[in-house]
Structure 1
């Protein structure tokens, strides 16, 4: 990514206030490198085979799976509070994304990885997680203030992997995918990044704060110094206007560093 100054934040006022997507503010970044795709299952398998690493989902013995994707209902151990479409499934992990009888596909993004797991991968790979500002800069790809990587409107043909139908009970899967799509699906943005929005949420390095944008420095912001949750960006295959319109360049959310779900992965960066 070339060094540049860009305007960060929600220019269309699409976001909800608790997400803290405003105020708009200038950010200046030096050049940096970022993966063209999210880390794939094959990439992550190479890491685990080289190091013997066990993810937090494997250590806990369960992870969160979307209810329509569960491969074996007998392995469900409970529902997540406030989001009943997420089920705790014993044996769900990066290699078994829908439960113990499922198998991850090598060219799909790795999921069921926590922020801590992503950090461990980065250390092994000699990389790091992108900052939130770097992530948005890369997603925008020089297109100032636009809603999506390709422009302000969803095209008639699918441009990213998001929900189609009646959330959360009926996904028509018109784009061909109930859950994740291969990491190199759809057209890349102007910087060559595949699916910075949709498909899977992506961990960033920063702690999350809904008021950080009002305090952010112009030069290479790194997020708050403390927090309880880490930033996730880009939305996922579950995003839909009726539920979660966070498949946008400016959209932001968060989760605790030890959390893992079937719709969260990551891509890496470097200077």
Structure 2
């Protein structure tokens, strides 16, 4: 499948600290936020469905790539938390490391190997390098790392409400960013797991790990990869009961929570255990953690 391309749009590339990713203007509007199908996990707090009004803002067409993140670290000397911790979780089928560098597995998720030397520049372990896949989304970045990048680029992370509104692409009440069918007319629209998780990925969508950004058709707003590929950090704190109290205009998330919000799912999502590639799906993680399936895209407030 050929990478999708969109029309030219204003970017930050020509501004000091700009990061060179195409952006689109997401128009102001209202939408029904949350899970209208009853398919979410109760602990994730995807209900009640509620009307939210969003002001216009700008959002990157794709997640930040290895190439762009390398430019950031070269310009600033920034070291990510995975680099400072000297290890990070890598999915077991993708690991490229000597056995001595495998420090253990994650409790309750034995498919995650904690690998010494895994970080954004070595996404599968010390025997890999970002330059082998420059147009893939950067991974092994924490929420704190994403914030540092945003400060350099003069941008910000999207709020969770902005993210869902943009991911819906102008569609109303649909399950996915493109409609209600996962593979309309047999066409794969996102990079998720096929086969038997976690041991056999048939790669029917063409990818076992991450895919180059914009490998699948964009949604109605011209945004790529709003489902699958990598989880994307949002600005908000996560709390499963927030929807009960959320304001109806430009909600910014609760004042505290159980980690930071993640949206979109990843290449590891599979309906046997994690159907969070649905547009309403939510997840979270501590702001100082990272893994081989978490990345981010940036937003800009319009003035």
Q: 1:178 aligns with which of 203, 208, 232?
A: 208
Secondary structure of the 2:128 match is: coil
Which residue of structure 2 aligns with residue 114 of structure 1? Answer: 142
Could you list the runs of 5+ residues in structure 1 that have no partner in the other structure?
A: none
Q: CA RMSD in A?
A: 0.7
State how far apart, in whole Å, the 1-side matches of 2:257 and 2:226 are.
25
State how far apart, in whole Å, the 2-side matches of 1:141 and 1:228 are.
28
Which residue of structure 1 aligns with residue 153 of structure 2? Answer: 125
State how far apart, in whole Å, the 2-side matches of 1:170 and 1:203 are.
27
Which residue of structure 2 aligns with residue 87 of structure 1? Answer: 113
Instruction: Tell whether 2:103 aligns with 1:77.
Output: yes
Q: 2:34 aligns with which of 2, 5, 9?
A: 9
Shift of 1:73: 4.2
Aligned length: 271
State how far apart, in whole Å, the 1-side matches of 2:98 and 2:42 are.
37
* TM-score of the two chains, using structure 1 as the length reference: 0.99
State how far apart, in whole Å, the 1-side matches of 2:140 and 2:224 are.
20
Show the 5 A alignment for 1:153-172.
Answer: 153-155=181-183, 156-172=186-202
Asked whether the equivalents of residues 258 and 284 of structure 2 are also in contact (C-alpha less than 8 Å), the reply is no
Which residue of structure 1 aligns with residue 21 of structure 2? Answer: none
Asked whether the equivalents of residues 46 and 243 of structure 2 are also in contact (C-alpha less than 8 Å), the reply is yes
State how far apart, in whole Å, the 2-side matches of 1:224 and 1:23 are.
16
Task: Tell me which stretches of 4 or more aligned residues in structure 1 moved more than 2 Å.
Answer: none
Q: 2:74 aligns with which of 26, 49, 52?
A: 49
* TM-score of the two chains, using structure 2 as the length reference: 0.88
Shift of 1:227: 2.0
Which residue of structure 2 aligns with residue 31 of structure 1? Answer: 56
State how far apart, in whole Å, the 2-side matches of 1:164 and 1:177 are.
10
Instruction: Tell whether 2:143 aligns with 1:97.
Output: no
Asked whether the equivalents of residues 239 and 258 of structure 2 are also in contact (C-alpha less than 8 Å), the reply is no
Which residue of structure 1 aligns with residue 268 of structure 2? Answer: 238
Report Cα offsets for 1:72-122 as digits up to 9, x if no partner. 241110111111111100000011100001112110000000000000000
Q: 1:222 aligns with which of 248, 252, 260?
A: 252
Could you list the runs of 5+ residues in structure 2 that have no partner in the other structure?
A: 1-25
State how far apart, in whole Å, the 2-side matches of 1:16 and 1:173 are.
26
Secondary structure of the 1:5 match is: strand
